[in-house]
Structures are given as structure tokens and as C-alpha cells.
Structure 1
Amino acid sequence: MHSILVKDYMQHNAHAIPIDTNIKDAVESLLNDGVIGAPVIDGNDHLVGYVSEQDCIKEMLNDAFFCEEPASVRTVMKTEVVSVTPDTSIVEIAQSMLDRRPKNYPVVDSGKLVGIINRSHILRALLENEQDCYIRH
């Protein structure tokens, strides 16, 4: 089961937000895509952070209260992002999730964002491989 890899279950076209996007546009993008957060990338598709709806709420409240122009995503994003590679084991990520780690993991290859894997992808991988166990026994 340790041979089940991220690259076989990840979403290849991950929703990503460019680092210079303003918060209002980032929130609209998150809402339109139906995601609660997204990796933040630089101009070369390198992963530089992660922004969630929660990260944006305080800033948007502040902007609305003071009638200020929205700040850049870079001001609210998390810069310490737990990411994985395409060759990371699904079992390793599943175990990490048990310790209340992130629920979405950007997938990077040589520093560049190549996809994302989340709880649904992990569950699908575990379910499909559990079924394979029943077939073999």
C-alpha cells in the first residue's frame, strides 16, 4: 500500500493564485472555484505560499471598515506551506492528516506547483486500493 503515490491521484490543474493578486480578487476566485484555499505562486509557477478564506476575512473586514483598497495576497498568505512531491506515498499523507496537518497539500516538482491533493483524493486512493486487497484475497 505504500506504493500508492500522489501522482496517481492528485489534481493536475490546481487552482493557484498569483502572488500579486489583490485579496478581493483572490476571494472571488476562491468562491467561483468552490475551494476554501489555494496555493500562491510567483511568475515562474514556484510555490511561495498558501491563502485560505480564513486568511482573507480579517483583512477584508479591515478594508471594508476603513474603506481601503484591498491589499495583496502576499500580505495575508501563509509562507510556511506543507507540500508534497508527485512521488510521495498516499499512506504518508493520510497519516499526516491524522495529526491535524493541512487538509490540502500543494504538489511541487523542483519547486514548481504541478498539482494539489486533498482529503477526497486520499480517500479515493485508499478506497480503490482496499478493493484491490479484497480481489487478491
Structure 2
Amino acid sequence: MKVSEVMTKDVITCRPSDPVDGVVKLMSEKDISGLPVVDGEKVVGMVTEADIMRLLVVPEPSRTLWMPSPLEVLIEIPLKEIIQLRRLQQSVKDAGGQNVGSIMQKDVLSISPDDDIEDAASAMVKHKVNRLVVLKDGKLVGIITRDDIIHGLGGSANT
């Protein structure tokens, strides 16, 4: 089975200059977990849920063995939790204003529409990615995801 038989042809894309919060909204509305980033007709990156989630990770202080006193239990621990919550809230606010170009993966894996889906599956497993852009003559013609491959295999099993 060829990639062209199972790929999504109407690809939802964004631009490097698009704000992250707008792309988050788009991904949520379209129920997708990643999309190609294009500059004109050229694919310049890929942005995924994982890229966005990395923006929200608040570095934790180093963990050392610490036995709080009763006073610390009443005062310091809740205060630390409040501080961590405020850092997370600030991270979310800061993340929304960034441009996609600052968080996207620039090394985009691609495949041809004429390749077999086995090649696509192999590339996804090897590179630990969930999707590949499909390029023909350097132009974006589709995207293929793990879900597309599974559905393609399921459909061919019934024929």
C-alpha cells in the first residue's frame, strides 16, 4: 500500500511567525497533535503537542532529603506550592506569546507519496516520531501519521 493511499491530503499548517497560543487553539479545534510549519510553499519545521508541553515544564528545585519541622509543614510547604503554581501560570502566559518558529522542530522528516506505508512506519519507529510530511518535488502534498497507517492496514485487512 502506498503512502498516497492513506495520507491526509488537506494538511493543516501554520507559519513560523504564528503565535503559539493561536496554534494551540487550532490544534485543539481540529483535534490534531502536530502540524507542519511552512514558509510560503516550503516546509521549515514541525510543531507538536510535545513542543508546546515543553514550554510549560517548570524546572523543579533539586530534590534532597529534607525533613520538615512542624512549623515548616504549616507555613513553608504551602508557600512552596503557591510559588510553583505561580511559576506554572507565568510559563503558560509567556508561552502563548512566543512564535511557533522559536519552539518548532527544524529537522522535518519527509516521505514520498509513492513510498510504501511500511517505509513510513519504519521511519516513524526509527526516528521516534508520530508523523511525516509527504513531499512531491519538494512541495507539501500530505501528511501521514501512525493513525493513518493503522487505519490503512485495518482497511486492507477487510478487503
The verdict on a shared fold, with TM-score over 0.5 as the criterion, is: yes
- How big is the alpha-carbon RMSD for the aligned residues of Structure 1 and Structure 2? 2.4
Q: Could you say which residue in structure 1 is the equivalent of 2:16?
A: 19
Cα distance in 2, alignment partners of residues 46 and 63 from structure 1: 35
Q: Could you say which residue in structure 2 is the equivalent of 1:86?
A: 113
**What one-letter code is carried by the residue in structure 1 that aligns with 2:20?**
I
Cα distance in 1, alignment partners of residues 99 and 128 from structure 2: 26
2:104 pairs with 1:107: no
Cα distance in 1, alignment partners of residues 28 and 42 from structure 2: 23
Measure how far apart 1:50 and its partner are: 0.3
TM value normalised by structure 1: 0.79
Q: Among 70, 73, 76, which residue is 2:100 paired with?
A: 73
Cα distance in 1, alignment partners of residues 157 and 53 from structure 2: 40
SS in 2 for 1:18: coil
2:55 pairs with 1:59: yes
SS in 2 for 1:77: coil
Check conservation: 2:130, 2:145, Cα contact below 8 A: yes
Pairs aligned (count): 128
Trace 1:30-69 onto structure 2 (pairs within 5 A). Answer: 30-43=27-40, 45-59=41-55, 65=90, 68=94
Deviates more, 1:89-98 or 1:105-114: 89-98
Measure how far apart 1:63 and its partner are: 9.5
**What one-letter code is carried by the residue in structure 1 that aligns with 2:55?**
E
Cα distance in 1, alignment partners of residues 126 and 17 from structure 2: 32
Q: Which has the higher contact order (CA 8 A, sep 6+)?
A: 2
Cα distance in 2, alignment partners of residues 121 and 59 from structure 1: 28
Gaps of 5+ in 2: 58-86
- Name the % identity: 26
Check conservation: 2:45, 2:108, Cα contact below 8 A: yes
Task: Determine which structure has more spread, i.e. the larger CA radius of gyration.
Answer: 2
Measure how far apart 1:131 and its partner are: 4.0
Cα distance in 2, alignment partners of residues 108 and 57 from structure 1: 27
Check conservation: 2:133, 2:143, Cα contact below 8 A: yes
SS in 2 for 1:25: helix
TM value normalised by structure 2: 0.69
2:6 pairs with 1:9: yes
In the TM superposition, what whole-angstrom CA distance separates every residue of 1:31-88 from its partner, at most 9, and x where no partner exists? 1111111111112x21110001221234367895275571210000000111111111
